[in-house]
Amino acid sequence: MKKVTGFDYLWCALYACAGFAFELLLVQIEKMMGLSVGELTTAQNIVHFIVTTIGWIAIGILVIFIGKKTTGFEILETKARIKGWQYIAIAACIVINIITKYLDWNGFKIALEFQRLGLPLFVFQYIYYIAEGFLISLVIVYAQKACEKWFGNEKIPYGGIILGLTWGLAHIGSRGSLMVGLFSLVAGFLFGTAYLFVNKDYRKALPLIILLFIL
């Protein structure tokens, strides 16, 4: 069996990151069907969210399969129990995340989106967010493993840094705003830090990262 290197893990992180492009492909297909993103009906938006969600989850599962096959890494392996100070640190991450999101959105994100979308779209939008959070978590996990393989230090949130520099800064182009990109960069670093605070236990990290992403 070949020696596992940091690049084997990094490729998995990049595959997960590339998975976000599935929605861009879907948007292009919708355009060919004569549909415009800003002019979709409620039903069409719900279909868009459902298809994107299914695509992202399928891609995420495929990335985990590839990661297991190429590196032998078991993503659901049990880690050490969380200590008291770590719970405090996790709570601090949640508070900082809420504050930065409030500044970014000029209000509480969930409340503003509920007002804007209405109940049906809000529900499917947040199911879509859960799938996006799943891919985000995989970028963090595999990027963290890659950098630990290269540099050996397990106390630096490499995964969050790489997430911020890829998914985070990509928001500058997708949203057309430098500030949105910078806030996403900070969010990526925060998610990666939270991953370390749960001892890199994916069973705990996945719901925490999704929660941080949604709030």
> Is there a domain that residue 76 lies in?
yes
99 phi/psi in degrees, rounded to 5: -65, -45
Q: Which is more confident, 184 or 163?
A: 163
pLDDT for the residue numbered 71: 93
Whether the pTM exceeds 0.75: the reply is yes
> Quick one: average pLDDT of 118-144?
95
Please report whether residue 148 resides in a domain.
Answer: yes
| Structural domain contains residue 45 | yes
pLDDT at residue number 67: 95
Q: How far apart are CA 194 and CA 99, in angstroms?
A: 16
Contacts 24+ apart (CB under 8 A), 169-175: 170/20
- For 60, the domain range is 6-214
Q: What are the respective helix, strand and coil percentages of the chain, to the nearest 5?
A: 80, 0, 20
Tokens of 151: 């540099």
pLDDT digits (tens, 9 = 90+) for 19-35: 999 998 999 998 888 88
Examine the pLDDT at 50 and tell me if it is beyond 90.
yes
Average pLDDT over residues 52-79: 93
In this structure, is residue 1 part of a structural domain?
A: no
Residues 60/10/28/23 CA torsion (nearest 10 deg) = 30
Whose CA is closest to 201, among 85, 74, 108, 98? Answer: 74
Residue 83 lies in a domain: yes
Domain count, the chain: 1
Token code pair at residue 105: 């959105």
Amino acid occupying residue 19: G
